[in-house]
Amino acid sequence: MTLSRLLIANRGEIACRIIRGCRALGIRAIAVYSEADRDARHVREADEAWPIGPASARESYLDIQRILDTARAARADAIHPGYGFLSENADFAAACAAAGIRFVGPPASVIRAMGLKHEAKALVEAAGVPVVPGYAGADQSPESLRTAAERLGFPLLVKAAAGGGGRGMRVVRAAGELNDALAAARGEAENAFGDGRLLLERFIERPRHIEVQVFGDTHGGCVHLFERECSVQRRYQKIIEEAPSPFPDSATRTALTAAAVRAARAVGYVNAGTVEFIVAGDGSFYFMEMNTRLQVEHPVTEAITGLDLVAWQLAVAAGAPLPLAQEQIRAAGHAVEARICCEDPARGFLPSTGRIRRFIAPPADDHWRIDAGVSDGDVVGPWYDGLIAKVIASGPDRATALATLNHRLARTAVHGVTTNLALLRAIAARPEFAASGVDTGFVERELPALLAPPAPADAALLVAARVALDDIAATARRAGSHSPWAQGDGWRAGAAARQALGLRMPDFHRAYARSQGDVVDLEIGERPVRGRVRGDGQQFTVAAGDGSREVEVIRDGPALQVVADRADEITLAPAWPFERSVDDAEAHPASPLPGRIVSLRVAAGDRVEAGQVLAVVEGMKVQHPVRAARAGRVTAVLVAAGDLVDAEAFLLELAPT
C-alpha cells in the first residue's frame, strides 16, 4: 500500500521536518495543535490542521483518544509520532493498529520490550550485547537496592526504568548518598513517567555517548546507518551531536554497529530506532537503552549517508522493504548538529519563554541545514520542550564541518527569548572539542569558563563605537538643526566631538569615542584602540594594528552581535544614568553637551508645542536651547536650574498628547 494522508502527532521542529518529508513524497500532511499552538509554524505549514485540546500536553499531544478520533475524522491512513510525546508509547501504537491506522514506528510489542531500560538490558544481554554492569531486578525494595548497590560499588548511577530526557537520574558517589538518591529518583520518575521503578548502573567515568542508527522492515531486513557521537550534554541531555563519532577506531566501530544490529534483531525491530551505548575511555562499550523512534539528531546521519530517514520510515510503515541493503549504505564526510534551545545556561538551564522577535541564520546550502520549528513573531510558551531549531553543518571532513559550524553559529541570532546560542558557540570553539571531541561531563565541568564571554576583539569594539557614533549623529539630525550634532562630523573647531558611550558586554563599560572620517579613536578603561572603520551598518572593513579584516554586524535595536572571528555581543547603552538611548529622543529631551542648566522654562504638567524651548544649557561658553521634538505634556522634570549635566543627560520626560 502507499500512504496518502499522514497525521503528525507532534509539534515544533520535528512536525515541520515531517511535513517537509511529506511534501517531497506527495503525501498530504495533517497537523494537530493545542490551543497554545493555534498559530504555530507546523500548523501554518501543514496541508490541513486540526485542534486537539488545551495547551497542557496531557490534554492534547498526549491524549491518545483525542488524537485517534482526529486521525479518523481527518481520514489519515498513518500517524507519525515524531519524538517525545507519544512516540515511545506502546499503548498508542497498539491503539493505532486496532483502529486500522499505520503507526510510523515499531509494533507495540517491540516498544514495550524496549521501553523499560531494565527489561531491554536483559533482552539484549541475552543476545550477546554487553550492557552496563548493574542491578536491573524486579525486586524494588530498599533493602534489595541497597544490597545491590553495595555489591556494585561506587560511584553508581540510579536511573528510572521508564526514563527519558535525562530525568530520574542520580549519581551516587558514596553509600551515604544512596537513600536520598533513590528517593529523589523515584519521585521524579513517578512524576514524569508514572512509573517509579529504578535500576542501578556502574557509573562509567568520563565516558562517550555513542549511538547507532538502525532500521528494520517488516520483511526481516535490519541494517545500521552508522553511528553518532552525542557526548556534548547538559543534564544528561544532548546539545551537540555529530556523525561519524571521532572516537572509535575502525574495529570498535565495526563492533558497535554489529552489536546494535544484534540488539535490534533480538526484538524483531521494525522502522527507525537508535541503540545507545556508553563507551569508556579504553574503548569498551555497553548498551544503555534503545530509543524506538526517530531521534532529534537524525539529520547528521542523513548528511553523511545522503538518505532521507523520514522517507525510509514512511516506506517501511507502508510495508515496503528497506530501500537499500547494508552494503549499499555508505557514509562520507562529517556533520555536526547544534540544538538551539530556549533556556538560560547561566541560570541552571531554566526554560525561557517569550516572543521570538527575530531568528536570524545564514541561509541554508549544501553544507548548512536549518530545521526550525518557529518563525519570527512566534511565541515560545512554558508548555513544551524548549528546542526551537537545529542547525547542521557538514563538510568533507570533521575540521571543515566544525569550521562551518563555528562560522555560521557566529552569524546566527535569536532575539526576544533567551537561548543557549552563546554556549553552543563557546563549546564549538573549544580546542578540546575540535581535537577529538569531549566526554559527557565536559560541559558541566567547564560551564563557568564556557559561560564567561571573552573580552571583545579590538575590531569588534571599533565597529561597535562606529555604530554608536553613527546612531548619535542620526539622532541629532532627526532632532533638528538647533542641535550642534546636526552639523555633521562634529561641531568643535578642528576636531570631531568626543562622545561618551555605554557598552554592555555584558558588564557595563563607559567608553569615549571620536571619529574623523573613517578613523575611530576609542578609549575604554585606560586602553586606547584606534583604527579605520569603513562600512554601511552591516558589513565593515576594519584596519587596525597591522591588518585589515571584515566584520559583520547583526543588529536588533541596541543589541549588536559583532562578528570578527567569533561573535561578540555588545549592547549599546546610555553612557550615563537618565541618558537617552537612540529612540528616546522624543520622549526625553536631553542636554546636547556637558554644561550647566541656566534656565528651565517648563514644569511638570505643562503642555508644550513642537519646537518650544524647554531649557537652556550653557556649555563651551555658548547657550544652547533645548527644544521639544514634538508636542506633548511634561510628565517629569529631572533637573533643576543650576545643575551640571553631562552630554545626552535627560532633562525631562515628555508624553505625547
Shortest gap between Cβ of 170 and ligand ADP (angstroms)? Answer: 11
Q: Which residue is nearest to Mg ion (CB)?
A: 276
Categorise residue 236: left if φ over 0, alpha if ψ from -120 to 50, beta otherwise: left
How far apart, in whole angstroms, are the C-alpha atoms of residue 596 and residue 640? 10
The site partner of 84 among ligand ADP, Mg ion, none (C-beta below 5 to 8 Å per kind) is ligand ADP
Nearer to ligand ADP, 226 or 485 (CB): 226
Q: Measured from the CB of residue 289, what is the shortest distance to Mg ion in angstroms?
A: 5
Could you say which of ligand ADP, Mg ion, none residue 82 binds, taking C-beta under 5 to 8 angstroms by partner kind?
Answer: none
SS3 state at 101: coil
Distance of CA 103 to the CA centre of its chain: 30
β-strands 613-619, 539-544 pairing: unpaired
Residues near ligand ADP, by CB under 6 A = 83-84, 132, 157, 159, 163-166, 201-204, 207, 209, 233, 236-238, 276, 278, 288-289, 291, 295-297, 385, 387, 440
**Residue 385 binds what, of ligand ADP, Mg ion, none (CB under 5 to 8 Å, by partner type)?**
ligand ADP
CB 418 within 8 A of CB 352: yes
Pairing of strands 28-33, 559-563: unpaired
Picked from Mg ion, ligand ADP, none, the partner binding residue 378 (CB below 5 to 8 A depending on kind) is none
Report whether the peptide linkage leading into residue 244 is cis, meaning its omega lies within 30 degrees of zero.
yes
- Going by DSSP bridges, is the β-strand pair 156-160/170-172 parallel, antiparallel, or unpaired? antiparallel
Q: Treating both helix axes as pointing N-terminal to C-terminal, what angle do 250-266 and 117-126 enclose, rounded to 10 degrees?
A: 110
Interaction pattern, residues 269-308, with Mg ion; x per rule: CB under 5 A: -------x--------------------------------
Extract the C-alpha cell encoding 532: 579605520
Residue nearer to Mg ion on the CB measure, 276 or 378: 276
Residue 575 C-beta: closest distance to Mg ion, Å:
50
Cell numbers standing for residue 638: 529631572
Residues from 257 through 276 that contact Mg ion (CB under 5 A): 276
Considering beta carbons, is residue 163 or 456 the nearer one to Mg ion?
A: 163
Residue 276 C-beta: closest distance to ligand ADP, Å: 5
Partner in contact with 652, chosen from ligand ADP, Mg ion, none, beta carbon below 5 to 8 Å by kind: none
Q: Which does 106 bind (CB under 5 to 8 A by kind): ligand ADP, Mg ion, none?
A: none
The CA distance from 323 to 335, in Å, is 23
Q: What sign has the CA pseudo-torsion 390, 6, 9, 35?
A: positive
Q: Which helix (H) or strand (E) covers residue 117, if one does? A: helix 117-126
Nearer Cβ to Mg ion (210/496): 210
For Mg ion, the closer CB: 88 or 579: 88
Cα–Cα distance measured from residue 37 to residue 56, given in angstroms and rounded to the nearest whole number: 11
Q: Which residues pair with 394 in a beta bridge?
A: 335
Assess contact for 217 and 308: CB atoms under 8 A: no
Q: Shortest distance, CB of residue 167 to Mg ion, whole angstroms? A: 11
Do 520 and 469 touch, CB atoms closer than 8 A?
A: yes
Q: Is the peptide bond before 107 cis (omega within 30 degrees of 0)?
A: no
Binds 368, which of ligand ADP, Mg ion, none (CB < 5 to 8 A, cut-off by type)? none
In angstroms, what is the minimal distance from the CB of 490 to ligand ADP?
Answer: 54
Q: How far is the CB of 91 from ligand ADP (least distance, A)?
A: 13
- The item of Mg ion, ligand ADP, none sharing an interface with residue 297, based on CB under 5 to 8 Å by kind, is ligand ADP
Query: Which residue number, 42 or 238, has a Cβ lying nearer to ligand ADP?
Result: 238
Nearer to ligand ADP, 208 or 566 (CB): 208
Task: Note whether 202 and 152 are within 8 A (CB).
Answer: yes
For 38, the 3-state DSSP assignment is coil
Nearest Cα neighbor of 13 from 435, 369, 274, 469 is 369
When the beta carbons of 372 and 467 are compared against ligand ADP, the nearer one is 372
* Shortest separation between residue 264's beta carbon and ligand ADP, angstroms: 16
Q: Name the minimum Å distance from CB 298 to ligand ADP.
A: 8
Name 58's Cβ contacts closer than 8 Å, sequence gap at least 6. none
Q: Residue 247: name its binding partner from ligand ADP, Mg ion, none (Cβ under 5 to 8 Å by kind).
A: none
Q: Residue 297 or 371: which CB sits closer to ligand ADP?
A: 297
Residue among 216 and 589 whose Cβ is closer to ligand ADP: 216
203 contact choice in ligand ADP, Mg ion, none (CB below 5 to 8 Å, kind-dependent): ligand ADP
**Taking Cα atoms as reference points, which of 515, 357, 339 lies closest to residue 427?**
339
Residue ranges binding Mg ion (CB under 5 A):
276
